[in-house]
Structure 1
Amino acid sequence: MGRGGMNGIARGLPAGLLYGALAFLAGAVLGPIRELLLAPAIGGLPAALVDGAAMAVALFLLARIAARRLPADAGRDPRAGMAGAGVLVVLLAELALGAALEASGLSLQRAVRSGWEQAVGLLLLAWLAALPFRVRR
């Protein structure tokens, strides 16, 4: 760990919590558009690619907004805290949403995602984790 160690990572947590919440909300808006409008019209993978491009831009903008909560001298450790907290919030929110959809029976109405569609999601998750190290306040 760099200068500050765990304390430095903790300094990035508020920004990461905001980042993760905003990222999940963006996905919650774009996901139904992908599922209900795009996928039936153009297919699952093309819809995932369109959605992925929109999410990539949104994540960049949201990372910049959340990075404003980082300390002015934020180095690697606070940015790692932001990245880790952001990814954790998104994953936990996705798990909760998936459980709710499963319990309601709505998940049965959705076509199974192909491996390529899932790969788009994994790339977005990697992008989410990388952005705190790339953006500036």
Structure 2
Amino acid sequence: MGGGETRRGARAGLRYGFLAFLAGAVLGPVRELLLAPAMGGLPAALLEAAIMAALLFLAARGVLDRMPPRQGWRARAAVAGVGLAVVLLSEVALDVALEASGIAEARAPRSVAEQAVGLPLLLWLAALPLLLRR
């Protein structure tokens, strides 16, 4: 039971991580280009985080709903772990690409407070598959 369940969870985690990264890839430029200049960096980051938290909930619910019923904690832990790994690795790849292209130098610097807003979102991303049940 454990191996197949974990494999299904890992596949679902790939979808979950992709959806989470996609949401951030869309909202990040909106925050940087539209919201931050209009309302300031920290309020823009907090607004983005609230929207991301809701989108992560919907993504987790959608991914878990597509899995067979009554998946155990191993499958949900795999969704959480793989999803988190996908997001973190994708973020690193995006940072490297932006740095290599020179775009990173043109970006406005983010304060420590603005950057810290993302940490609870990562915890939320990892916790949701374990908290939500069908």
**Structure 1 partner of 2:30:** 33
Q: CA deviation at 1:7?
A: 5.1
Q: Could you say which residue in structure 1 is the equivalent of 2:98?
A: 101
Give the aligned partner of residue 54 of structure 2: 57
Counterpart AA for 1:95? V
Query: In structure 2, what is the equivalent of residue 19 of structure 1?
Result: 16
Out of 114-123 and 19-28, give the one that drifted further: 114-123
**Cα distance in structure 2, aligned partners of 1:81 and 1:21:** 14
Q: Helix, strand or coil for the counterpart of 1:102? A: helix
8 A contact 1:70–1:78 mirrored in 2 = no
- 4+ aligned runs moved over 2 Å, structure 1: 6-11, 68-71
Confirm or deny: 8 A CA contact 1:12 1:81 kept in the other structure. Answer: yes
One-letter amino acid of the counterpart of residue 13, structure 1: A
Distance 1:7 1:72 in 2: 14
* Structure 1 residue runs without a partner (length 5+): none
Aligned residues: 134
Deviations 1:103-128 (A, max 9, x none): 11111111222121111111111100
Whole-angstrom CA distance in 2 between matches of 1:116 and 1:14: 34
Task: Give the Cα separation in 2 of the matches to 1:10 and 1:69.
Answer: 14
CA distance in 1, matches of 2:74, 2:121: 22
1:72 aligned partner: 69
Q: Deviations over 1:77-123 (max 9, x none)?
A: 10000000100111111111111111111111112221211111111
Q: Give the Cα–Cα distance (whole angstroms) in 1 for the partners of residues 6 and 123 of structure 2.
A: 19
5+ long unaligned stretches in structure 2: none
Q: How many Å separate the matches in 2 of 1:28 and 1:84?
A: 20
Taking structure 2 as the reference length, what is the TM-score of the superposition?
A: 0.93
- SS of aligned partner of 1:12: helix
Q: Is the 8 A contact 1:14 1:69 kept in 2?
A: no
Q: Is the 1:17–1:89 contact (alpha carbons within 8 Å) kept by the matching residues of 2?
A: yes
| C-alpha RMSD of matched pairs (Å) | 1.4
> For residues 108 and 76 of structure 1, what CA distance do their matches in structure 2 show?
43
Identical-pair percentage: 62
Which residue in 1 is equivalent to 2:127?
Answer: 130
